[in-house]
Amino acid sequence: MTGGRPEVPVAVIGAGPRGLAVLGQLLAALGPGGRWEGTAAAVHLVEPEEAGAGRVWSPHQPAGLLMNTLAGHATAFPDASVRTPGPRLTGPTLLEWSREHHEGGPLEPWEHPGRALMGRYLHWAYGEMLRRAPAGVRVVRHRTRATALARTPDGGLRVTLENGDGPLAVGAVVLATGHTDQREGPGDRELTGFAARHGLVRLPPGYPHEAALDRLEPGAEVLVRGLALNFFDQLTLLTSGRGGRFTQHPDGTPRYLPSGREPRIVAGSGRGVPYLARGQAPGAMPRGHRLRHFTGEHLGRLLARGPGGVDFRTEVWPLIAREAGAAWYATALRLRPGRCRLPEKRFLERYAAVPHGSPQWAALLAEAFPDPADRFDPAELDRPLAGVTVPDRDALGEWMRGFLRADLAAARDLEHSPLKAAAAAIAAAKAQVRKLAVAGVLNARGTRDLRWFRAYGAHTASGPPASRIAELLALHEAGVVEFAGAGLTVGTDEAAGRFTGRSATVAGPPARTRALLDAWLPGPDLATTGSPLLAALLTAGLGRAHRPGGAQPSGALDVDPATGRVYDAAGVAQPDLFACGIPVEGVEWNTAIGARAGAGAALFTQADTIARAALAAACGR
C-alpha cells in the first residue's frame, strides 16, 4: 500500500539490457504524462547478477574483453528517433556517460570499448532509473533466479524465487531472461565422459569470463572449436590475460611477446576462418549503407503476401545478394575501372535490373568480367576455404596469414574495400529481414533459412574489432595459435586417451590433444533449456514451443510478435504474460542485437509496447 492506495504489482524477470528497457518504459508510463500517472505500483525486478548489466555484460569481467559494437552506437536509453505513444525515460548514451563520469579514459565514437565498461554503464542506468522513479512507485530488487511461474486461484500469476523469498503474487510478468544455459546433448556427454575417464580437460560452451581457463596449463596443446566472437574473448584471456604483450614491428605490423604462460592453441570451425573484422578506421565512423535494391517498396510487396507466402531462399536472399553485389561492384569499379568490359554506369544499371542468380545475371557477369576472379561471389565470402586442401597445418597457416592480412587491410581502409562495402550492405539488409520474420510471412523453411542467414550475416558483418584480427595474426606468428581447418570434427582416440580434430582442409594427421575448449555460446532452444523457469512454464501449460506453420519447433517460446504475449498450451495469447529477446529467437530474428543510438531501435519500441500492455493487464485485475 502507498498512501492508502493498493499497489499494482508487476514482475520483470531478467535485468539485462532488455529487462532494463522494459523497466524504463514502465517507469515512464507511470510517471508524468504517462497513461498510468499517479498509479501506485511495485515493480519486482528478478536478476541474480548486477541489475542492468545481467550476466553477459557483467561489470566484473576482465577489462580486456571488448564489445564488437562501436562506442558511438551504444545506448541504454531511447532517444528522439524512437517513436512511442507515450513518454520515454531518456538518458545519456554510453559515449556521453563515459565522458561525463570519466569512465574508460578518453573514449572515442569509433572505438570498441570494454564489455565491463558497458556493464558499468548499464548498471548506472539502472540506478538512474531508480532515482527517477515516480512517487508511489517502488522498484523491488530480488537478487536471485525465478524458478517457476503458476496461475493463482484468482487468475493472477505467482513467481517462485530460488532463494525462498516470496512467492511473488503479481498482475503481470515480463520474461526478459536473455541467454540461459542449455543441457548437454548426447555428443557433449560423451566428450565429458571421455575426458573424465582419461584425466583430460574439456571446457564446454559458455561465457568466457566464467570458464575455468586456469585448467589449461602453460604450453599444453588445446584443441579449440569455434572462431567467432566467443573465440576472441577466450583467446584474449589465455594470452594477454596471462601476461603476454602486443607491440609492433618497425613496419607497424603487430607483434606478440609471450609470457610463457600461454597454452598452444589449435583452432578450427565449420568455416575454418574467423568472423570477418568490423570496419575500424581510426578517426572516423563507418558511413553505413543506404538500401537501393532491398527497399521499403520491395519489403512491402513481400509483407503483403500474408502468412507463409514468402520463400527466403528464392525471394529474399536474391535481394540481399544483389544489394551486397551492387555495393561490391560500385567500389571495385571505382578503384579498378579497367576490369569491367562495360562502362561502369551501364553495368550497374543492368545489374540492378536482372534477378540475382538468373540466366540474365550470369550472362551479364560473363560479358562484363571474363575473369571469374573479378566477380562478387557471396558463397566464397561465406566459405573461403571451400575446395582448399593443404598438406599440413604449416601450409594452412601460410594461407591464413594472407587471408587475415587482407581482411585487416580492408577493415582499416573502408573507402577502398569492396569486401567491406558488401558487408555494410548485408548489415543494412538485416533490418528488413527482421521485419519479415516478425510478420510471419516466411514459409515453413523460414526458420532454417533465417538461422543460416543469421550465421552468414554474423560472419560477414558482425565480426570482431579489427584490432582482434591484428592480434590473432601476431599470435599465430608467435607460434601460440595454429589453425585446424574447415569442417572441423572433434573425435576421441580411446587407445591414446586423446581428443582428435580432423578437417578436410588439412591432408596431414589429425590434431591430438589432452584438452578441448568449445569457444561458443549455445543458441537458445526451449527443448534443451537449462532454465528451470522456462521448463516449468511448459509443464504448467503457461507456454508452448513455437512451431512455424505447424513445422518442427524453432527453439523459441511462442509469442504473439506484435504484442509479446506468450501463447499458452492451448494457443491462447495470455493478456498478462510477456516475453522478449533471446527466448523468442525463432518467432523474432537476430534478437541478440542491442539498441543503437539515433536509429529508432526496435528494442525500445518493443519494450514500450510490452510495458504498457503489462500495466494495462495488472491495473485491470
CA distance 266 to 330: 38
- Write the single-letter amino acid at 229: L
Domains of the chain: 8-181+525-619 (3.50.50.60), 185-218+227-239 (no CATH), 296-388+410-461 (no CATH)
Distance between alpha carbon 559 and the CA centroid of its chain, in Å? 20
Closest CA to 487 of 381, 376, 384: 384
User: What's the confidence (pLDDT) of residue 103?
Assistant: 81
Band of the pLDDT at 439, cuts 50, 70, 90?
Answer: very high
- Cα–Cα distance, 23 to 31 (Å, whole number): 12
pLDDT at 6 > cutoff 90: no
Find where cell 537478487 sits.
143
Asked whether the CA dihedral 549, 444, 592, 183 is positive or negative, the reply is positive
> 289-314 pLDDT, tens per residue?
999 999 999 999 999 998 999 999 99
pLDDT digits (tens, 9 = 90+) for 58-100: 999 999 999 999 999 999 999 999 999 999 999 999 999 999 9
Average pLDDT across the chain, whole number: 94
- Please choose, from the candidates 378, 369, 410, the residue with its C-alpha nearest in 3D space to the C-alpha of residue 279: 410
pLDDT digits (tens, 9 = 90+) for 465-508: 999 999 999 999 999 999 999 999 999 999 999 999 999 999 98
CB neighbour class for 247 (10 Å; exposed up to 12, middle 13-18, buried from 19)? exposed
Which pLDDT score, from 0 to 100, does residue 281 have? 76
Pull the grid cell for residue 138: 517502488
CA–CA gap between residue 570 and residue 592 (Å, rounded): 28
Return the bridge partners of 267, or none.
Answer: 224, 483
Helix axes 418-439, 393-411, angle to 10 degrees: 80
The pLDDT value given to residue 552: 85
Q: For 384-404, how does the pLDDT look when each residue is reduced to its tens digit (9 = 90+)? A: 999 999 999 999 999 999 999
CA distance 302 to 432: 10
Instruction: Please state, in angstroms and rounded to a whole number, the distance separating the CA atoms of residues 313 and 433.
Output: 12
Kindly provide the b/e burial profile for residues 19-32, where b requires at least 16 CB atoms within 10 angstroms of the residue's own CB: bbbbbbbbbbbbbe
Report the length, in residues, of the chain: 621
Contact 598, 79 (CB under 8 A): yes
